[in-house]
């Protein structure tokens, strides 16, 4: 079976390179990318050339082909393209045309009934690759890191909200009778893995990987269309955030993207005091743009503030990987909120068990909280949202207090034990952040078991 890979970043290419080296496969692998520096690295670096016999650079789309066939997008495609529209600032029709063009371009370069491997599938380029493989009657496996050290999972259906883990859980929950409840064995295993993790996996990236991300950023400004990659606009925004903060905030208010605090108040309430922790997500997170209605972390903050009363205390925590201008903006608006409403804080550190509720859009931090036995309210679609071991916020609640008050009546927290079991059983013990060595820091026995389990699935 012919094997094809789509890689957008060096870390993707390193992972698949090390995976095929570990398989000791003789299969000829063809790789697609739209990253010029990655294309050149794979094409000319000896180690990459040994595995990836052919590398294709997906060309930029300039809408030259006027007779390109258009079609309606399905729900998943529309959600994924929303990332390009919201985050990159690309015009909807241009985003759609480029996506359909990529499917056609890749389809013309692959054989029928092939194996396709890509990361996540929740970005338009990766989804176009998967659609091209499927169109040619092939099989696609989507890879994704988990929230635990040295583990990833592969899924034919998709990742995160589109993962088959969700349907597996639903089916097994139906088949489990009340007398055969799953114990908390797997919940304890996952909690142990998380407890032993010293820092977020992304922080283990070596300097060479970080340099590649910097180079990719330059390429984005040179070759990607969309207002996000307009150099003048970027410099102008940074200038305003540094020297014209009040003017910038006023513009956000005019666009409906922030609260006019001069005309906003939090309603008084004599109900019980609730402490809520809200871990914010990074602005570039596909989870935010694809699987929620919020345009940015700031947009989420303003919606949360509209839902609270005077006896709900909120601690916001910035994402540790968010280190750009959006952090400046988030800190700015939170400082303004805190100065008017002392019940709202921006915290650097926290203890999860000190909070009554953890509220998140769809961060994997929600799973961490559930492992620790803390109540979770989600505001977006995710791997774990919509199930009855947590509460999913919706318009049926008039405010956050009503949702918290309804939590115990609505939630069956014991069902999370089954979910934890299914998550763990889908783990492959590979180190995505090993920079070309997926065996790094893994348990040798579990690593080999993962290889043996995956090889027949990939038919290698």
Is pTM beyond 0.85? Reply is: yes
Per-residue model confidence (pLDDT) at position 215:
61
Q: Rg of the chain's alpha carbons, rounded to an integer?
A: 23
CA angle 414, 415, 420 (to 5 degrees): 105
Per-residue model confidence (pLDDT) at position 136:
95
**What is the pairing mode between strands 312-317 and 29-33?**
unpaired
How far apart CA 328 and CA 330 sit, in angstroms, is 6
Query: Would you say the C-alpha torsion 318, 324, 326, 327 has a positive or negative sign?
Result: positive
Closest among 72, 10, 75 to 38, alpha carbons compared: 10
Question: 369-396 burial string, b = 16+ CB within 10 Å, else e?
Answer: bbbeebbbbbbbbbbbbebebbbbbeee
Would you say 355 and 277 are in contact if contact means Cβ atoms under 8 Å apart? yes
Would you say 225 and 90 are in contact if contact means Cβ atoms under 8 Å apart? yes
Would you say 81 and 89 are in contact if contact means Cβ atoms under 8 Å apart? no
Q: Which residues of the chain have pLDDT under 50?
A: 179, 200-205, 226-227, 229
User: Which DSSP state fits 117?
Assistant: E
**What is the pairing mode between strands 29-33 and 152-155?**
unpaired
Would you say 407 and 434 are in contact if contact means Cβ atoms under 8 Å apart? no
Give Cα separations from 386 to 85, 112, 357 (angstroms): 26, 37, 17
Give Cα separations from 104 to 31, 54, 61, 118, 455 (angstroms): 16, 19, 12, 17, 30
Give Cα separations from 234 to 238, 239, 325 (angstroms): 6, 9, 9
CA angle 346, 352, 357 (to 5 degrees): 80
**What is the pairing mode between strands 152-155 and 139-145?**
antiparallel
How far apart CA 269 and CA 280 sit, in angstroms, is 26
End-to-end CA distance of the chain: 8
């Amino acid at each position: 079976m012919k094997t094809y890979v789509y890689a957008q970043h060096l870390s993707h290419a390193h992972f698949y390179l090390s995976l095929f080296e570990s398989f000791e496969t003789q299969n000829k692998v063809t790789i697609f990318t739209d990253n010029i520096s990655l294309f050149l690295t794979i094409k000319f670096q000896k180690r990459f050339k040994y595995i990836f016999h052919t590398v294709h650079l997906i060309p930029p789309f300039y809408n030259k082909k006027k007779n390109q066939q258009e079609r309606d997008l399905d729900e998943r495609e529309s959600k994924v393209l929303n990332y390009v529209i919201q985050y990159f600032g690309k015009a909807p029709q241009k985003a759609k045309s480029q996506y359909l063009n990529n499917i056609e371009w890749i389809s013309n370069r692959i054989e029928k009934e092939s194996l396709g491997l890509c990361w996540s599938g929740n970005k338009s380029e990766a989804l176009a690759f998967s659609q091209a493989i499927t169109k040619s009657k092939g099989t696609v496996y989507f890879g994704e890191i988990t929230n635990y050290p040295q583990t990833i999972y592969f899924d034919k259906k998709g990742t995160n909200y589109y993962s088959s883990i969700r349907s597996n859980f639903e089916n097994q929950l139906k088949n489990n009778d009340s007398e055969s409840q799953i114990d908390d064995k797997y919940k304890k295993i996952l909690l142990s893995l998380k407890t032993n993790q010293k820092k977020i996996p992304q922080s283990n990236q070596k300097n060479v990987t970080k340099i590649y991300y910097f180079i990719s950023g330059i390429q984005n400004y040179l070759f990607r269309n969309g207002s996000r990659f307009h150099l003048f606009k970027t410099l102008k925004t940074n200038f305003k955030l540094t020297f014209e903060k009040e003017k910038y905030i006023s513009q956000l208010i005019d666009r409906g993207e922030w609260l006019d605090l001069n005309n906003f108040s939090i309603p008084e309430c004599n109900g019980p005091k609730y402490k809520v922790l809200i871990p914010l997500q990074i602005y570039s997170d596909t989870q935010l743009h694809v699987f929620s209605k919020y345009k940015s972390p700031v947009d989420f903050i303003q919606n949360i503030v509209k839902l609270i009363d005077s006896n709900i205390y909120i601690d916001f925590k910035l994402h540790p990987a968010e280190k750009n201008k959006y952090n400046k903006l988030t800190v700015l608006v939170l400082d303004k909120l805190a100065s008017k409403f002392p019940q709202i804080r921006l915290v650097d550190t926290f203890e999860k068990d000190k909070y009554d509720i953890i509220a998140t859009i769809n961060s994997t931090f929600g799973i961490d909280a559930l492992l620790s036995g803390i109540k979770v309210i989600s505001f977006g679609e995710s791997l774990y949202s919509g199930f009855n071991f947590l509460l999913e916020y919706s318009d049926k609640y008039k405010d956050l207090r009503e949702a918290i008050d309804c939590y115990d009546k609505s939630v069956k927290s014991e069902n999370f034990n089954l979910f934890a079991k299914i998550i763990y059983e889908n783990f492959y013990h590979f180190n995505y952040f090993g920079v070309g060595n997926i065996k790094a820091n893994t348990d040798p026995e579990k690593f080999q078991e993962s290889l043996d389990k995956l090889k027949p699935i990939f038919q290698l």
